[in-house]
Structure 1
Amino acid sequence: MNIKSLLLGSAAALAVVSGAQAADAIVAAEPEPVEYVRVCDAYGTGYFYIPGTETCLKINGYIRFQVNVGDQPGGDNDSDWDAVTRGQVQFTAKSDTEYGPLTGVIVMQFNADNATDQTSKLDSAYIDIAGLRAGLFYSWWDDGLSGETDDIGSVVTLHNSIRYQYETPDFYAGLSVDELEDGVFKADEDPNNVGVAIGLGGKAGAFSYQITAGYDFDNEDGAVRAMGTVDIGPGTLGLAGVYSSGPNSYYSAAEWAVAAEYAIKATDKLKITPAVQYYGNYFGGSKAVPDDFDGLGDAWKVGLTVDYQIVDNFYAKASVQYLDPDDGDDSTSGYFRLQRAF
């Protein structure tokens, strides 16, 4: 066999094999189209479309490390300091409807006193549309001045509630019906309760204000609170006053109290807030309350809080408080906190 015959034979064999492979060729399927996450800017920063839907979702939260020092009311730790860590994550879903944005919020919180003593809880979960909100959420009584000294809110401010709130950029007013199962209660009773609260507030230039009231039907007492802030000089002056007709789930620390603070913006990153509060007929923060405030002594409290922004979304806070009640021992407490928000 000469070279020419060998080449012709090889070419013929290759043609046969190629034809067989062509007949059995595997054709790759077209890849499924991938829908990438799209930014949703209709409700502010941080939202994105849930793939395949027109619902916008935002995920945010914070990680907190805190060391409490001194007398810790209600604490289980016998030492004079205690380190705790918290992780909190919030899911906010929004979509457009003919009634305006339909909002759903879920907040989960995880707390660790140590490696084995840990708790998790549903911190909030509610539906909001056209000013109507229903679910588990914090009441207006959870609000306060910017420092850590003021004690002008409820013992428990998180309730299963339904409320309607009308609001504009500079004003809001609303009515809320609250289940107060975990509120305060009189001796020989259990907390199984309902209350009605109203809230209104707004701002006008450098001045902001809020008025909150609530009536506790089981305890047959109510409370009203007013507070306001105004920018003066290098800081913001805050004033608040609260009155309670008797111990109830909206306010039970005292029959009345006044509080003041001045939040000094020392630099773009540093805020220093000295504050003071005075209580008339002081009781304290327990859930089991007396029938009334008669015969109780007064108390006063002074404190200092320092906030510092280390970098964007990373903050440090230190606070110290001194409380001196007529009917009890004075106490000093405080904490140091590091918090990373996202």
Structure 2
Amino acid sequence: MSFMRLLGSAASVLALTAGVAWAEMPVLRAAVQESGTVNWELTTIKDNGFDTAHGFELQVQGMAGGPAAQVAFQGGEADVIVSDWLWVARQRSEGKDFVFVPYSRAVGALMVPEGSAATSLADLKGQKIGIAGGPLDKSWIILRAYAQQEYGMDLAAETEQVFGAPPLIFKTGVSGELGGAINFWHFLAKMEAAGMKPLVTVDDAAMALGLDPQTPLLGYVFKGEMLRDHPELVQGMAQASRDAKDLLSTSDEAWEAIRPIMNAQSDAQFDKLKEGFRAGIPAPGPVDEVAAGKMLKLMADLGGADLVGTATELPEGLFVQPGS
């Protein structure tokens, strides 16, 4: 056999072997909101090969929103979604074996317009507060508890709440039509870039209430059967997520690569979004379950069954440790 034929045969064998190896690599299907900020991390994972480096191929399915992703997940059309651990606690309390791997602790602040004379929540009495997450928004609940503790103020009764979609709260907040605004963290970053300022951060309010602001709120949600049957996939996703976070926390070039999907309308917005994401990266290591239990109790006391269902105590096995 000639050298060229031998080389060709070897190449064919290598290609076939590679094809078999690729075919055998397990696929992890992630269903996430198409415009959600988690796509910044997932794109970084894919573009840098952090998924295949940890033994799986990540496939991202864009969904209309969080509820649609939850339906796909519960119906077996997706292997992993992103949600808050309070939702996972509620599901576990109702008998569903879901587990949580931390992704982000980003929560935000109550913002006031540029030039506002307010120096505390007490100064918002009688004014309108815009809230993007609805009456059961976690930041709103923490701020209500904080106002009661610090000022003896019933924030819900002594202000007028305006609930709306995040873009509407952004627009009315920046225009000065609201006394204050609570929005999803990436819209808060854009509001700050537009001149609004934080009156009180949710981190500060949580600390005053004896909660741990380091408790990650958002995470990757898996079914318990995957953790039991394929722990390497859950751990691989956790490690790929950490690799992406490590890169995004140090590399400005990595941010330039994902800028086209960030919907940043200016350099100021881009810088604030990058800053907000980095600030929300949870520290590696186990979640403080005692602190999480305190937060769950607060949410149950103020949000009731509409928010947490029957989960009044932290369900055992909620957090995946290690990986958190």
Which range, TM-score by smaller chain?
under 0.3
Report 1 or 2 for greater relative contact order, CA contacts < 8 Å, sequence distance ≥ 6: 2
- Indicate the structure with greater strand content: 1
TM-score, normalised via structure 2 length: 0.25
Which of 1 and 2 has greater Rg? 1
- Indicate the structure with greater helix content: 2
